[in-house]
Chains A and B, each alone.
Chain A
Amino acid sequence: MPPSFKWDSLKRWETLLAVVLAVVVIFNISQSSVFLRVDNLVNLFMLHIEKIIVVLIMTLIIINGEIDLSVASVMGLGACVVANLYERGVSMEAAILVGLGVGALCGIINGFWVAYVRLPSLAVTLAGLIAYHGIAEMLVEDRSIGNFPDWFNQLGQKALIGPLPLSLVIFFILFIIFAAVLHFSAFGRYVFVIGNNREAARYSGVRVRQVKMMLYIMSGVIASLAGILFAARLGAVRASTAEGFELDIITVVLLGGVSIFGGKGTLAGVGLSIMLVLCLRNGMNLLSITGNTQSTVIGVLLIFSVLIPNLTQDFQGFWNRRRMIAK
């Protein structure tokens, strides 16, 4: 397939996302006078901020042709390490540093098995999902640890710059950094090249292993950071903190038009997909649609997001063949 075709289909996917997003936004505005208010727009991000921070690094990992199923467990583990250390009398600042370090360590472990031993990332990070969650369970057991220092809780809950809380500021900064790295740097090009064809990348002198290792370490640190921010927002930590978030995170990335097979995707598409899911959830909340109905609507949307690109490709293939036969 010529490269121009891929580019076009991507363009079309993002246009489609933008159109659907516009429809959802217009619908929300028409249904609720609250939707466009600043506090609601901040809420819209804040209620899922931890997930969308991890979505950014997950985008790079999936474009790279890998997956990290352990992110939610690393989020939980980061939060549990911080809570456990703080409870033992370690200062909160030091506890946070150790928490981030543990995240990096998880990333190194994942990266080692994937990049150097060349085991499938699906299996490696699935093991990570179970193991890191297990450690979190051992640290916090069946309890809920809270009573963190005020400054820590305020960091997660109160506005820091204008109406924006810290985690929202972190999200925007990371979004810009990741967009720049992925689309305008040599590292970003390597991420795509490896995702397209690992062997070809290796023979052209790309340091495949280092790139993969870097991505997994970043994933570990960012997931742990997100978990700690989650703890600050909720003011309490349980072993089950962030449990199951990995699926939400990966589905947002896929809805953004990133190919699960690697090599394809843009951060713009993922940005649109984040906005779409957030606006949809917020709109449903404002209309008092909660619980399972909300999950179902999002689920149906995701099924379509996977079906439509595949169906259009199949249809196009079918059409091309027909034309060739006709000729």
Chain B
Amino acid sequence: MKKSFLILIILTVMSLSLVSAQDEAVVATPGETVNMILLPKFLGIAVFDQAHQGAEEAHAELQNAGTLEFLGPTQENSAAGQVEIVTTAASRDDVDAIMISNNAGDQLGPALEAAKAADQTVVTWDSPIPSGDSEDLFVAQVDFDQTGKVMADMALSILGEDGGKFAVLSASPDAANQNAWIASLQETLEDEAYASLELLDIVYGDDVTETSYDQALALVDKYPDMELIMAPTTVGIAAAAKAMQDEGLCETVKVSGLGLPAEMLDFTLNGCAPEFALWSFVDLGYVTYYATYLLATGAIEAEEGVSFEAGRMGVYTIEKDPTREVGLRIVMGPFSVYNIDNVEAAANPGGAEMTPEATEEG
């Protein structure tokens, strides 16, 4: 009787420890040496600089004795340039991990396979490898399936309950994240709740300001009854809003999508882009860095169900990516929706703390 009771206790403790071992989030050991490359789609736009800033913050926090290089191609040469940088990195002995926002579709496959063959950790962020091969993990900024709903909701809120016609101004047709979001938007639109919204066209501005600007105006010419341009790219939304403002069209054609508060402030205040959404790219760079550091040091494996702690951002659990056939992801989240009420505070985060409410609470 006593014996069996003891066995029961032992079994209980063992099973408890098993459960807790599974749930326990792995915490990174600072001070290890991991040479990392942060590779954005291209250099020269604010959001990628912010991601770099977040990665630098994590780099300092983890006291990584290795290097963090921020390398990227020029805008005109994004796909071929990314292939070039990854190919070269794969043949270098002093690179342990590559963190990439893919702008080359599956074209990066062979180069990333070479990197994996050289024992380098490959983590995608912002935009994954569509096929899911040749990457260890994708750090999704938000749930990609959610993005379509957020955009459709903003469209309804801007156009009103009776809806209207709108077009999508995307970045480049090779950007996996853009394509996933547009697909998710199209799926959302099939829902009856959004039956009043009609998607006219999808055009691409290549994340180049001038091209996006021209594409926005071309849409206006092509579809006189269009009431909204939805641009799920920070470059596209700002360019489209500028185009509508310059042409005095803000009353008839509104702009929405994914934008940076600092870049969208004026357009939101003057009504050209009354509502838009985004997440923090600083946080995205930060979380990506933690995940990559943990994978590269062998502290965690890229497997479903593995949990880890990413510094100030808290605990994440690796899961199967439901938006792709193959691939693992973590979802950072959440979306912030900006409008005339909160855009100023978001655009000047330093100034926000000076508001009366904040002082009262403090």
* Interfacial residues, chain A to chain B (CB-CB below 8 A): 32-34, 37, 39-40, 43, 46-47, 142-144, 146, 157-158, 234-236, 238, 240, 243-244, 282, 285-286, 288, 290-292, 295
Cross-interface CB contact of A234 among B107, B114, B202, cutoff 8 Å: B107
A288 to B173, CA, bound (A): 28
Q: Is B69 an interface residue (CB 8 A)?
A: yes
Residues on A with C-beta less than 8 A from B92 are 32, 34, 286
Distance in angstroms from A132 CB to nearest chain B CB is: 19
Distance in angstroms from B116 CB to nearest chain A CB is: 14
Contact B173 A290 (CB under 8 A): no
Contact B106 A290 (CB under 8 A): no
Residues on A with C-beta less than 8 A from B93 are 33-34
Distance in angstroms from B319 CB to nearest chain A CB is: 27
Contact B43 A292 (CB under 8 A): yes
Contact B84 A285 (CB under 8 A): yes
Interface string of B62-94 (1 = CB under 8 A from A): 000000010111101001110111011001110
A39 to B88, CA, bound (A): 10
Distance in angstroms from A299 CB to nearest chain B CB is: 13
Contact B81 A234 (CB under 8 A): no
A143 to B170, CA, bound (A): 11
24 contacts between A and B (CB under 8 A): A32-B92, A37-B91, A39-B114, A43-B91, A47-B84, A143-B173, A144-B173, A146-B107, A234-B79, A234-B107, A235-B109, A235-B110, A236-B105, A236-B174, A244-B76, A282-B88, A285-B88, A288-B37, A290-B71, A290-B73, A290-B84, A291-B72, A291-B74, A295-B74
Distance in angstroms from B106 CB to nearest chain A CB is: 6
The tally of CB-CB contacts under 8 A between chains A and B is: 77
Q: A39-B114, A144-B105 are in contact. List 16 more A-B contacts (CB 8 A).
A: A34-B91, A37-B91, A40-B91, A43-B87, A146-B107, A158-B110, A235-B110, A236-B104, A238-B174, A285-B88, A288-B37, A288-B71, A290-B73, A290-B81, A290-B84, A291-B74
**Nearest chain A residue, comparing its CB with the CB of B215:** A142
Q: Is B203 an interface residue (CB 8 A)?
A: yes
**Nearest chain A residue, comparing its CB with the CB of B118:** A39
Q: Which of B283-305 contact A (CB under 8 A)?
A: none
Q: Is B204 an interface residue (CB 8 A)?
A: yes
Contact B88 A43 (CB under 8 A): yes
Residues on A with C-beta less than 8 A from B88 are 40, 43, 47, 282, 285-286
Residues on B with C-beta less than 8 A from A39 are 91, 114
A43 to B79, CA, bound (A): 16
**Nearest chain B residue, comparing its CB with the CB of A140:** B173
Contact A234 B80 (CB under 8 A): yes
Residues on A with C-beta less than 8 A from B80 are 234
Residues on A with C-beta less than 8 A from B71 are 288, 290-291
